Amino acid sequence: MPNTCGYKKQLIRYMVEKTKDRTTPLSLTCFARNFLTTTGVVRHPRSVEKMCRIIMAKAHLLKKNTLTKVRIVFVLSGVVNEEFKKEMDQIGTCTIDNAGHIETFKANDGSLTLVCMNNGNGTRVRSRSEKVKAKKVDSESDSDEDEEMSATGGDNDGIIDNYPSNHQPPVA
């Protein structure tokens, strides 16, 4: 059985490190993959994503400064609970969307300002990590097609070539 406590601590340290200089949301899937690649932890990416969500749901209990916790929840698109909202209100002003995500946050002392850009269809604009961006050689659609192909099978499986933009491939 893997050491869950050490894994959680390592994940929290990684969350702090990777979100400290960011002011825009990051894809949690890309974050989880980068965590696994960088640290050598042997877990499934979805279990890392789930653990990130659990940690963010209990952000008010983390022994970190509130600005650090705000940045983690904002960058990784965590849901803000009532306790954490109260903690945030003590050090700044924020707006929360209907899904419970931070839309804007401005610290009273001016040390941190976060603004989420919506892409027009009710979802947040997220970026990939710099490491993933550097790997791209051709266009963005190439990597998306590769991910889609690996998730749904091979080229000859009779899949539809042009999915609508909101289509999610089936999970096996």
pLDDT tens-digit readout, 7-33: 899 999 999 999 988 888 889 999 999
Residue 170 lies inside a defined structural domain of this protein: no
Residue 116 lies inside a defined structural domain of this protein: yes
- Distance, in Å, from the CA atom of 48 to the CA atom of 42, rounded to the nearest integer, reads 10
pLDDT of residue 6: 84
Residue 142 lies inside a defined structural domain of this protein: no
Q: Which residue bears the tokens 């491939």?
A: 169
Residue 21 backbone dihedrals phi, psi, to 5 degrees? -110, 5
pLDDT at 161 over 50: no
pLDDT of residue 65: 92
Residue 40 lies inside a defined structural domain of this protein: yes
Span 135-148, average pLDDT: 39
pLDDT at 143 over 50: no
Span 135-162, average pLDDT: 38
The pLDDT confidence band at residue 74, using thresholds 50, 70 and 90, is: very high
pLDDT of residue 136: 37
The alpha carbon of residue 102 and the mean position of all alpha carbons in its chain are separated, in whole angstroms, by 13
- Distance, in Å, from the CA atom of 42 to the CA atom of 54, rounded to the nearest integer, reads 19
Residue 169 lies inside a defined structural domain of this protein: no
pLDDT of residue 146: 42
With a pLDDT cut of 70, the percent of the chain lying above it is 66
- Distance, in Å, from the CA atom of 155 to the CA atom of 124, rounded to the nearest integer, reads 31
Q: Domain range spanning residue 50?
A: 4-127
Query: Looking at the 3D structure of the chain, how many domains does it have?
Result: 1
In a 3-state reduction of DSSP, which class is residue 114?
strand
Residue 164 lies inside a defined structural domain of this protein: no
Span 43-60, average pLDDT: 93
Residue 144 lies inside a defined structural domain of this protein: no
Q: Which residue bears the tokens 């050689």?
A: 137
Contact yes or no for 43/36 (Cβ under 8 A): yes
pLDDT of residue 125: 56
Residue 67 lies inside a defined structural domain of this protein: yes
pLDDT at 60 over 70: yes
